[in-house]
């Protein structure tokens, strides 16, 4: 089953989770929410060819260990850091 991007962001937000994605359409949905003032828990975006898996995981661990949910709320963070 495939959920629409808006529902994915809503679900992640309702669970208090930041969404991690390589989907450019989801990036566009987050940008739309930012411009319209609609809240979401946050998005971490990485282009599919921008980073190796080891660095991808290291960056995610760094974010998880140093950020609170409110630090990322309504923001898009791009990897690599």
Tens digits of residue pLDDT in 25-50: 999 999 999 999 999 999 999 998 88
pLDDT tens-digit series, residues 46-65: 998 888 999 999 999 999 99
How far apart CA 65 and CA 43 sit, in angstroms, is 16
pLDDT at 21: 94
Domains of the chain, residue spans: 5-79
Q: 43-54 burial string, b = 16+ CB within 10 Å, else e?
A: bbbbeeeebeee
How far apart CA 45 and CA 49 sit, in angstroms, is 12
Task: Say what the pTM is.
Answer: 0.90
Main-chain dihedrals φ then ψ at residue 46, nearest 5 degrees: -140, 130
pLDDT at 1 over 80: no
Confidence of residue 20 (pLDDT cuts 50, 70, 90): very high
């Amino acid at each position: 089953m495939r959920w629409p991007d808006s529902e994915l962001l809503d679900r992640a937000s309702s669970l208090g989770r930041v969404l991690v994605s390589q989907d450019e359409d989801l990036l566009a949905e987050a940008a739309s929410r930012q411009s319209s003032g609609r809240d979401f828990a946050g998005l971490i975006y990485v282009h599919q060819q921008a980073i190796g898996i080891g660095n991808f995981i290291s960056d995610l661990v760094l974010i998880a260990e140093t950020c609170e949910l409110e630090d990322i709320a309504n923001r898009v963070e791009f990897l690599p850091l």
